[in-house]
Structure 1
């Protein structure tokens, strides 16, 4: 999200609940220009010492005009608990022509509505977090990110059958249709996966591929 274009024109973050405040704070730490919008005076006061914050009701189109919303390269709607507010705010951002709109949804139905009115990217924090934990519990996956259409990237422990072999010898691309993106050995720098990369018993692999295939591969002893 913090592309050069976005960084130069800033990110508007609407709603300083747990999701919005964490996102705004992280963007600020990345030196991305951020303006937060929150209608709760207590939250505005709490965050004003750390972030540029304005107290305003983003469901009101006039308020969006007053804060210059159209000048931002991206906006994030962190309001999720009120469906009506979320939809109104997203619609206002679409109307002012913000080129990249991210919005938090609390359900699949909420996500569909936001997509229909013009949000470019939808985040389902609870669902996505649950999915990541489900793939990690009881297995060798240490982290799981589903990109789209069944393609995922995982961080996992190396199965025994890969120990002390080079990637060229394992030929995982042909045998499993998986791509080892990189390898991390404790105490050493991250190494991008190459033909001569040696997999040792203590390696952590970063692998991309079909989510179902990754699930099966990660369960290998």
Structure 2
């Protein structure tokens, strides 16, 4: 994000609060909106602006100059009606990027149908990530959405000594190894001539299921 960007966050529960604070600490202009007076009081002085207001009402959002913001986040989860109404106003205002939290697949589908640009599932995404980490060979797992993932993992034993070009990941599996970290060394760009050694870690990007199968190769 550039210094000129501004973000409105409606719903300051655990997800919205953490996101808003992180952005504010990075110097981003953040407006937080919530109906809970205690939350608003706690975040007063932490965020650029924080107000107690009903984000489902257009006149309230207009008074707060929400249409002028470059990004918007709907952090409302349990109140589906409020989540959908708030998101619909953000979309109608023509805000450049609208993100929204969903708690179920049907909730997320509705958000997508009304034009939300990015729908996130914090609880299910974290559950999948931890499950992958528990498998042992995966050091980090990032769900990129749309069925794609970025995985950091140790090179499977069966691929030790092979070059990336020889393995044919891109041609056979539509996967890309973007970086490799040799033992006792930092991350470096990977290309077709890069030979994978025992103990190397790689960053693989592509279709999630194919990336997971690649990591699981014996």
TM-score above 0.5, yes or no:
yes
Counterpart of 2:60 (choices 58, 63, 78) is 63
Q: Which runs of 5+ in 2 are unaligned?
A: none
The separation in 2 between residues aligned to 1:30 and 1:181, in whole angstroms, is 27
The answer to whether the 8 A contact 1:93-1:101 is kept is yes
**Measured at CA, do residues 116 and 179 of structure 1 come closer, stay the same or move farther in structure 2, by a change above 3 Å?**
closer
Match of 1:8 in 2: 4
The answer to whether the 8 A contact 1:139-1:218 is kept is no
The answer to whether the 8 A contact 1:152-1:211 is kept is yes
The TM-score with structure 2 as length reference comes to: 0.88
Does residue 195 in structure 1 map to residue 195 in structure 2? no
Match of 1:183 in 2: 180
Match of 2:17 in 1: 21
**Measured at CA, do residues 13 and 61 of structure 1 come closer, stay the same or move farther in structure 2, by a change above 3 Å?**
same
CA RMSD of aligned residues (A): 2.1
Please give the per-residue CA displacement for 1:59-112, whole angstroms capped at 9, x wherever unaligned. Answer: 222211111001101100001111111112112223333222111111111112
Match of 2:102 in 1: 105
The alpha carbon displacement at 1:149 in A equals: 4.2
Structure 1 stretches of 4+ with a deviation exceeding 6 A read none
Please give the per-residue CA displacement for 1:146-202, whole angstroms capped at 9, x wherever unaligned. Answer: 334433221111112333444345444345543211012455322111234343322
Q: Which stretch shows the higher mean deviation, 182-191 or 60-69?
A: 182-191
Does residue 51 in structure 1 map to residue 47 in structure 2? yes
Count of aligned pairs: 217
Q: Which runs of 5+ in 1 are unaligned?
A: none
